[in-house]
Amino acid sequence: MALFWLFVIQWEEISGLDENFTPIRTYQVCQVMEPNQNNWLRTNWIEKGDAQRIFVELKFTLRDCNSLPGVVGTCKETFNLYYQETDVEVGRNIRESQYVKIDTIAADESFTQGDLGERKMKLNTEVRIIGPLSRRGFYLAFQDVGACIALVSVKVYYKKCWSIIENLATFPDTVTGSEFSSLVEVEGTCVSDAEEEADNSPKMHCSAEGEWLVPIGKCICKAGFHQKGDACEPCGRGFYKSSSQDLQCSRCPAHSYNDREGSWRCDCEDGYYRALSDPPSIACTRPPSAPQNLVYNINQTTVTLEWSPPADTGGRNDVTYRIICRRCSWEPEECVPCGGNVAFTPQQSGLTDTYITISELLAHANYTFEVEAVNGVSDLSRTQRLFAAVSIATSQICLSPNPSAMNNFHGSEVIKERVQEHSIQLSWQEPEQPNGVITEYEIKYYEKDQKDRIYSTVKSKSTSATVNNLKPSTAYVFQIRAFTAAGYGMFGPRLEVTTKEESSGQNPVIIIAVVAVAGTIILVFMVFGFIIGRRYALAVKFPGTKTYIDPETYEDPNRAVHQFAKELDASCIKIERVIGAGEFGEVCSGRLKLPGKRDVPVAIKTLKVGYTEKQRRDFLCEASIMGQFDHPNVVHLEGVVTRGKPVMIVIEYMENGSLDAFLRKHDGQFTVIQLVGMLRGIAAGMRYLSDMGYVHRDLAARNILVNSNLVCKVSDFGLSRVIDDDPEAVYTTTGGKIPVRWTATEAIQYRKFTSASDVWSYGIVMWEVVSYGERPYWDMSNQDVIKAIEEGYRLPAPMDCPPGLHQLMLDCWQKDRADRPKFDQIVGILDKMIRNPNTLKTPVGTTTRPISPLLDQSTPDFTSFRSVSEWLEAIKMERYKDNFTAAGYSSLESVARMTIEDVMSLGISLVGHQKKVMSSIQTMRAQMIHLHGTGVQV
Ligand code: AMP
């Protein structure tokens, strides 16, 4: 924005030179000799447009009072920055009371004397933020109170998220929100030929820093279109995409084509069809050819037909058979449908087996039977029907294509003689009624589970045969028929035989080779392990999984540091300001400029002077650990400086500091999705660490850092003794210090720290996050916390906590560590919640903090009951009043000490009532613990 200066008293517009001696115009004032200066300079009216949060960048020089002789008492080294919001331009007169002060501005650098005595001008840059702004525009004003200032430039700007396309949705230019922490939710519009995914409309959030965050939902290309970059393009000719759910266009399946672009399906070639239920992805098919080898057997007025499947199934596996039965007159041959009196077993159509029995035919009648194979597209086809037919006269044989019906195998037994992996030997007896001399037998067989039922045949001149080239462990179906001069007879019954399993000891050579290779690997590992000894003591692993190596296993800790951390040149690091106090020295912010790279903001942990060798080792240990990790949700180590002083660890800069303090500062300001997004990040970082075999032991919101994009990263790595320096850690009876409120029971009780105990701590972090940095278990003492947890109590859902999140916390706090979810599952659950924000809705009525910290509001406050009977009435168990009195439980304190055995001994026999009473007693006990601190001795 261009600025025009309207109101000038004492301030002068002057030409000068900047640091590089380039001519510039400045506004200057230098009334340092006179006291009580009040000189104002004001901008013209600046229309704010859509902006709500305005940045003001000032460049100025300020004269050091010490360099001005004789000004003691009157010279100042600061000036004040003000603003005034108005809807329209106002007059030139400044009324100070209408201005709101933004800040007092001081210089980081002032005029200094150069080596040769000439004055050098040092330019200062300061940025201030104003907002939320509500009027149409504003003025900026500068108040000089007696300093020597030259205002060189004022840049006024606001930030916005630039229009982008993400997940095929367009998000327009969006001005950032009014608050530092506010995210502006923006709905995306699908690009052309894309549509919103069901229940997953695209959204993004514009952060105050002008960056797009937390993309949710997406658009997908419509049917007939596929994604290319940020757009949807039509499928090419010969390709199709049937649904928006499919990612890619596919080539037209067999026997189909299309000659248009952007098709959702392909058309069938002539003579090929698609059944109504066929998806567009399968080939077009055609009706099957006629069944083969149709034979019959007639017994007075009953005919049995048997056939083989068609040579061509039409490309489908839904072939069935239907029989058309016609009765024909002798001369001239005229046929009519058989009518309803004929019986078909199992049925006339829809047959899946290749045989049928037709009974109740008329005696001495002439019949024609057509056997037609049909499939899912037979009814769509207008081509000629293909069938196999026989004509039969009841009570006599005539016109049979297979005239040897007497060679009937039915009733003959087939024996399996020898079953091997690849062969089966069968034997049988000659049929009882051979129709002449049997010259040959045909053995037909097929794989039982094969869909297309492809038959093979073997011929034999004797009553036995061996069928070879079979697959091991496979069921085959065999049928045998005999051949005489009159032709083939009927096939005998089906015999199912399964070949033997392939024996594992089949190829001793392979086994020997495997054993030899495995032996060599073990030997190599042993020799390798022996040579490198301590150095890789924990690192023996198989390729593919990166494993954390405990730096303590290195004899020389310096080697560990240099194995995992880059040594940086101290001259690349510029320390700017102190941001915190670490255990070993100050933590500063600054910049790291590596040769050939952009400078990046960094946090620098320093080791205080006068350190001992042990302190140096412990300090660098964190770097040796951090340097092994590389994950977006684990704080990244830039490098170390060990060859200069001070010794430094340089880490990526996390602008918003530690998570607990950050959440407290922004209490209630985030959406649930944002909170879950943070939790997802932490879980992903922990999944990575646990996959590497690293157990954190001190996972807590205070040990998570947050950057300017609200990305959370796990930090604070160290060996167990580093935890000793956590102010939350206290000594426990098992020795060593433990952050009790964050630690799983088994870790407190017997120091069993595992990724499962990290999951417990993660549950506590979830609770800290959702409650905006509330202290877990509030002001309860550590002893009471341990006691309450032991008795089965768990933190209740924080205010506005979606039930699903609280359930996940409770799962993390399962007593048995095997029952807790793994980090991998936690990430999956949170991802699902983010994808379906509806699951994160809080049911009405849970939006207030619980009265008692350990309980939901719905739980009565047991400490307010005055007698045992009042309590029993409240839990609707008054029927047991007398039982309590008779057993001597007259006070609530005595009731609170009861165990389940005590409850049972009162004579409460119903399990449901026992549970209700016991759970109420436990709740009462917890409330007493919380209210009276010391609790009840059980
Ligand atoms: P630590 O010794 O790691 O506990 O650090 C002390 C404090 O310095 C922390 O509580 C943070 O506020 C701050 N700090 C540490 N590391 C960083 C970092 N990478 N970026 C920003 N602040 C940090």
Residue 214 annotated as binding?
no
Residue 582 counted as an annotated binding residue: yes
Tell me how far the alpha carbon of residue 634 lies from the centroid of ligand 1, in angstroms.
13
Question: Does 725 sit in the ligand 1 pocket, CB within 6 Å?
Answer: no
Known binding residue 542? Answer is no
Ligand 1 site, residue 603, Cβ cutoff 6 A: yes
What residues form DSSP beta bridges with 477? 446, 496
What's the rounded Cα separation, in Å, for the pair 829 and 751?
29
The response to whether residue 288 sits with its C-beta less than 6 Å from ligand 1 reads: no
- Is the CB of 582 inside a 6 Å radius of any atom of ligand 1? yes
Q: Is 717 near ligand 1, meaning CB less than 6 Å away?
A: no
Reply yes or no: is the peptide bond before residue 346 cis, omega within 30 of 0.
Answer: yes
Site of tokens 């058979």: 321
Q: SS in 3 state form for 544-555?
A: CCCCCCCHHHCC
CA of 586 to the centre of ligand 1 (A): 9
Q: Which atom of ligand 1 is nearest to the CA of 622?
A: 3
Crossing angle (nearest 10°) for helices 672-691 and 823-835 = 150
Sign of the four-CA dihedral 677, 658, 618, 750 = negative
DSSP state of 566: P
For 492, the 3-state DSSP assignment is coil
Asked whether 552 lines ligand 1 (CB < 6 A), one says no
Is 622 annotated in a binding site? The answer is: no
Question: What angle (nearest 5°) sits at the alpha carbon of residue 92, between those of residues 91 and 95?
Answer: 90
Pocket test for ligand 1, best of 640, 705, 726 (most atoms within 8 A of CB): 705
Contacts of residue 817, defined as CB under 8 A and 6 or more positions apart, other chains included, come to 744, 746, 752, 754, 756, 757, 759, 760
Q: For a substitution probing ligand 1, which of 579, 711, 714, 725 has the most ligand atoms within 8 Å of its CB? A: 579
User: How far does the centroid of ligand 1 lie from the alpha carbon of residue 716, in Å?
Assistant: 9
Which residue would you say has higher pLDDT here, 455 or 626?
626
Residue written as token pair 């768990």: 794
Asked if residue 654 has its Cβ within 6 Å of ligand 1, the reply is yes
Which residue's C-alpha comes closest to atom 6 of ligand 1?
A: 582
Between 925 and 739, the more confident residue is: 739
Task: Answer whether 578 contacts ligand 1 (Cβ < 6 A).
Answer: no
- Distance (Å, whole) CA 332 – CA 334: 6
DSSP-assigned letters across all residues of 767-789 = HHHHTTSPPTTTT--HHHHHHHH
Structure-model confidence comparison of residues 91 and 127, the more confident one: 127
**541 pLDDT higher than 50:** no
Residue 580 Cβ < 6 Å to ligand 1 = yes
Max Cα–Cα distance, the chain, nearest Å = 145
The per-residue pLDDT for range 31-52, each reduced to its tens digit, is: 998 888 999 999 999 999 989 8
Confidence of residue 24 (pLDDT cuts 50, 70, 90): confident
- Cis check: omega of the bond before 472, within 30 degrees of 0: no
How far apart are the CA of 702 and the centre of ligand 1, in A? 10
Closest residue by CA, ligand 1 atom 10:
658
* 486-495, 647-656, 885-894: which is most confident: 647-656
- Give the pLDDT confidence score for residue 544 in this predicted structure: 41
Which residue puts its alpha carbon closest to atom 12 of ligand 1? 657
C-alpha to C-alpha distances, 825 to 418, 561, 623, 802, 822, nearest whole angstrom = 52, 33, 29, 18, 5
| Burial of 877 from C-beta contacts in 10 A (0-12 / 13-18 / 19+) | middle
Element at 256 (helix H, strand E): strand 256-257
580 known member of a binding site = yes
CA-nearest of 260, 254, 221, 223 to 238 is 260
Q: Which residues contact 358 (CB under 8 A, 6 or more apart)?
A: 302, 303, 304, 305, 323, 325, 342, 343, 344, 345, 369
Closest CA to 475 of 501, 513, 457, 443: 501
Residue 658 CA to ligand 1 center (angstroms) comes to: 7
Span from the CA of 826 to the centroid of ligand 1 (angstroms)? 27
**Residues 156-192 pLDDT 10s:** 999 999 999 999 999 999 998 877 667 788 999 999 9
The residue ranking higher by pLDDT, 3 or 139, is: 139
Provide the strand spans (E) within 346-462: 355-359, 366-374, 387-393, 414-419, 424-428, 440-447, 456-460
Q: Which of 159, 175, 219 is nearest to 195 (CA)?
A: 219
* pLDDT for the residue numbered 447: 87
| pLDDT tens profile 187-238 | 999 999 999 998 888 988 888 778 887 777 899 999 999 999 999 999 999 9
Task: Inform me whether the pLDDT recorded for 625 exceeds 60.
Answer: yes
Confirm or reject: Cβ of 850 under 6 Å from ligand 1. no
Q: Is the dihedral of CA 432, 435, 438, 443 positive or negative?
A: negative
pLDDT band at 515 (very low <50, low <70, confident <90, very high): very low
What tens digit of pLDDT does each residue of 810-844 get?
999 999 999 999 999 999 999 999 888 888 886 64
**Most informative mutation of 573, 577, 587 for ligand 1 (most atoms within 8 A of CB):** 587
Side-chain-side CA neighbours of 532 within 13 Å: the count stands at 13
819 or 584: whose pLDDT is higher? 819
pLDDT value at position 330? 72
Q: Whose CA is nearest to atom 1 of ligand 1?
A: 582
Name the β-bridge partners of 137: 47, 86
Quick one: how many helices (H) and strands (E) in the chain? 16, 54
Pick 773 or 489 by higher pLDDT.
773
Q: Is 652 annotated as a binding residue?
A: no
* Cβ 324 vs Cβ 355: under 8 Å: no
Would you say the CB of residue 657 lies under 6 angstroms from ligand 1?
yes
Tell me, in angstroms, the distance from the centre of ligand 1 to residue 481's CA. Answer: 88
Nearest-atom index, ligand 1, CA of 716: 3
Q: Which helix (H) or strand (E) holds 39?
A: strand 39-43
pLDDT of residue 929: 56
The C-alpha atoms of residue 72 and residue 228 are separated, in whole angstroms, by 71
Say how many Å lie between the CA of residue 179 and the centre of ligand 1.
24
In the chain, the N- to C-terminal Cα span, in Å, equals 73
For the Cβ of 601 lying below 6 angstroms from any atom of ligand 1, the answer is no
Q: Does residue 798 contact residue 770 with C-beta atoms inside 8 Å?
A: yes
pLDDT at 89 over 60: yes
Cβ of residue 587 lying under 6 Å from some atom of ligand 1? yes
pTM over 0.85: no
Residues 430-442 have pLDDT tens digits of 776 666 677 788 8
Of these ranges, 72-76, 771-775, 783-787, the one predicted with the greatest mean pLDDT is 771-775
Structural Rg of the chain based on CA atoms: 44
What's phi and psi for 508, nearest 5 deg?
A: -60, -30
**Weakest-pLDDT range from 208-212, 768-772, 785-789, 843-847:** 843-847
Per the residue annotation, which of 698, 716, 726, 784 is the catalytic one?
Answer: 698
Give every CB contact of residue 197 below 8 A, 6+ residues apart in sequence: 217, 218, 219, 220, 244
pLDDT-derived band of residue 787, with 50, 70 and 90 as boundaries? confident
Ligand 1 centroid – CA 698 distance (Å) = 15
Tell me what percent of the residues of the chain surpass a pLDDT of 70: 84
Which residue's alpha carbon is nearest to atom 5 within ligand 1?
Answer: 582
- Rounded mean pLDDT, 421-430: 88
| Known catalytic residue at 449 | no
54 is in an annotated binding site: no
pLDDT band at 578 (very low <50, low <70, confident <90, very high): confident
What is the pLDDT confidence band of residue 451, given thresholds at 50, 70 and 90?
low
How would residue 720 be classed by pLDDT, with cut points 50, 70 and 90? low
Ligand 1 atom closest to residue 703's alpha carbon, by position in its atom list:
4
pLDDT at residue number 433: 64
Output the pLDDT for position 7: 47
**How, if at all, do strands 231-234 and 225-228 pair?**
antiparallel
